[in-house]
Amino acid sequence: MAVNAYLNFDGNTREAIEFYVKAFELEMPEITTFGDAPQNPEYPLPEEAKNLVMHSSLTICDSAVMFSDTFPGMPFTVGNNINLAVVIDDLDNLRKYFKNLSDGGNVTMELQETFWSKSFGQLTDKFGVNWMFSHESE
């Protein structure tokens, strides 16, 4: 199990990744854009979202730091643009921890299957901390 930092940016994620790659002397990571993801015909992807970063990750000093642009139209506030990501292979514990942290908080995305995870969800706990949960099978 790991708890990783997940940083969100307002359209300049590529620039941030390039900066951190240079600062920490790392190799450029794979970058997945919103346009690379499977498309849902019921919710067409806006043109301005296609080249925005949906996900990327760097290992900085043995810790995973993940990156994404906010989706067009979603709120972005500097200072609130960090999530803690719980990545775990035990589905029962993932559900339990998600439920426990949601007590008194606000679930922004119920746990659900996505194309990258058997179970993924997001919430803000009662202290205003943003959390992401992702099942990662071995």
Tokens 């989706």 correspond to 71
In a domain, 44, yes or no: no
pLDDT at residue 91, as a whole number: 94
**Taking the CB of residue 109, how many other CB atoms lie within 10 A of it?**
12
The mean pLDDT of 123-135, rounded to a whole number, is 88
Instruction: Identify the domain containing residue 18 by its residue range.
Output: 2-36+49-135
- CATH code of residue 17: 3.10.180.10
In a domain, 41, yes or no: no
Task: Tell me if 25 sits within 8 A of 59, measured CB to CB.
Answer: no
In a domain, 72, yes or no: yes
Tokens 């996505």 correspond to 114
- Mean of all residue pLDDT scores within the chain: 91
- pLDDT category of residue 138 using cuts at 50, 70 and 90: low
Task: Tell me if 129 sits within 8 A of 122, measured CB to CB.
Answer: no
In a domain, 16, yes or no: yes
φ, ψ for residue 55 (rounded to 5)?
-160, 140
Output the furthest CA–CA distance in the chain (Å, rounded): 42
Task: Tell me if 117 sits within 8 A of 111, measured CB to CB.
Answer: no
9 pLDDT higher than 70 = yes
Provide the number of structural domains found in the chain.
1
Please provide the size of the chain in residues: 138
43 pLDDT higher than 90 = no
pTM value > 0.85: no
End-to-end CA distance of the chain: 11
Summarize pLDDT for 70-115 with one digit per residue, the tens. 999 888 888 778 889 988 899 999 999 999 989 999 999 999 999 8
* Residue (of 74, 92, 87, 70) closest to 131 by Cα position: 87
